[in-house]
Structure 1
């Protein structure tokens, strides 16, 4: 059942446990959307594509879009507030707690969070890759972009624009 409170709780949880930023939050967002029946996998992949090319954080853009889709303007405000609120609360608490610390505790926390974030990002890459690399053309684009990123100093924005133009021309 779709409720504003359910929308708030879902995006609050995403914001609370989405360490590592937008890409690390993608599996959490996907799980909530599938569990609640708010979007199909293809709609979710379209959402991520839109959230990536829209200015701003992926999680905030996703929350705004999903909230709007499910409950209109009020839903977008509720979901966006919910995904931002945990960072605000945690940031204020951590800032207050660690204000006079020597930094060892912070470094120990980050030392263990970083591998978890990398795992979440790789999990997102796998989920998105399996759903989007569906034919030879998409595989070649994937390989081409990887090679450009690894072996040139091209700006990723240029690569995004270039692949968008290829999509317009050939599809």
Structure 2
């Protein structure tokens, strides 16, 4: 398949928003095939019915890099738990594994098999902010890091909704 990146947008977002197209262009310039799918069910449809649709819509192999933002990052936890292959890297930007605020979070599972998730990515990276206005903050990143290991990058960048996101571009080899 070759080097490939799949960028999963956040809750009620679209692939053309914020830094998603910028990162896709940067990675294409470095030789990656990049998918930026639109999954409107992200964090609006229960994960039990939504996840099989995502799994059926994409293929994954040892050269795949997964990038998820916000609800898309939370989706990566369930996705990794269900994959039958180990991907190269998973980068969770403003990710979370427990409800970050009072909003309904249908993307979350009641429990996770952390050992399986850890085994499904050769490298795990968590990028969180101390000032995330939605609660997808450094504490959420630390909780995932404590369970999964990998790399935790803590910034002061809110919910990471700028037009560029240099840190993620630098984290993908």
Bigger helix share: 1
TM-score range normalised by the length of the shorter chain? under 0.3
TM-score by length of 2: 0.25
TM-score by length of 1: 0.25
